[in-house]
Structure 1
Amino acid sequence: MNKLIPIILLSLTACQPSKNTIDNVDDAITVHDLYWSGYGNVEPYPFTTEYGHIACSLNEVTYYPDDTINDESQVGLPLNKLAQLRQNESNMKPTVKNAIKPNADLSEAIRMGLDRCKQVQQQLDKLRSESGM
């Protein structure tokens, strides 16, 4: 029994979550047509789907209609020039349906995506500095 106590204590401490994680920051933002203007966004809602996700990675902003972001095989719709350029360079084309309204003002969606990129980068920088990297 005495040998079992250290094993139990070790297993409990090994399972504790680390505080060095990125809290509450995901690289995608869920957007919904009903809430778009409620957050002070530019009118009208620029997408044809009821909801979707604006994602940002390396300052490339893309849109995934509905739940297509949950399918890693999907390629989103590029919203900014950098995303379009990188897709062209990679010979990739969006695999999701076109969900951008004709002549839509995408400036707010792009701004939201780039803001999310900055938030994620700040969290990563903080994590690196705390861990001495």
Structure 2
Amino acid sequence: MPRWLISIFVLPLIACSPAQDDSHKFVSGDVAVHEVFWAVDHDTPYPFTTSGEISCVYYPEFGTEVYFEPAGYSEDSSIGTPLNKAAAKSLKRDDMTPNVPYSIKKGADLSEAIEVGLKACNKMYRET
């Protein structure tokens, strides 16, 4: 059978296939943070002892995990400090512990830092 004839039969099958379900997407994102610039966009004091990166990972079955990694530690082998319950539960479930220096100020309000991470994943999710 000629190739052009095969393509006539295959094209409608491809064109009429349902779109991929977006609920199974893996999404990650990150935002650099520094104490000097934190006060510009946030109401709470800078919650970390050093500059670094707030990162997020979204798995549909687990939810959005938010972590902090100090500057110089955002590598594939680094396990950041969990900032929200989803991140803490994920690490516990996988029997993992953070391997970056602990860099959260004692008594710090993490609500805005967590929000930064959640927004990063939401933004990346919308862009994919």
- TM-score normalised by the shorter chain: which range applies? 0.7 to 0.9
CA RMSD, aligned part only?
A: 1.0
Does the Cα contact within 8 Å between 2:44 and 2:112 map onto a contact in 1?
no
Cα distance, 1:42 vs structure 2: 2.6
Residue 116 of structure 1: aligned partner: 120
Dislocated runs of 4+, deviation >6 Å: none
Tell me if 1:52 matches 2:46.
no
Please give the secondary structure, in 1, of the residue aligned with 2:43: coil
Tell me if 1:101 matches 2:105.
yes
Residue 36 of structure 1: aligned partner: 38
Q: Where do 1:1-133 residues align within 5 Å?
A: 27-39=29-41, 41-49=42-50, 51-58=51-58, 59-69=64-74, 71-124=75-128
In 1, the alpha carbon distance for the partners of 2:29 and 2:116 equals 11
> Structure 1: which amino acid aligns with 2:40?
G
Cα distance, 1:66 vs structure 2: 1.2
Task: Tell me how many residue pairs correspond in the alignment.
Answer: 96
In 2, the alpha carbon distance for the partners of 1:102 and 1:52 equals 17
Task: Give 5+ residue unaligned stretches, structure 1.
Answer: 1-25, 125-133
> Structure 1: which amino acid aligns with 2:68?
Y
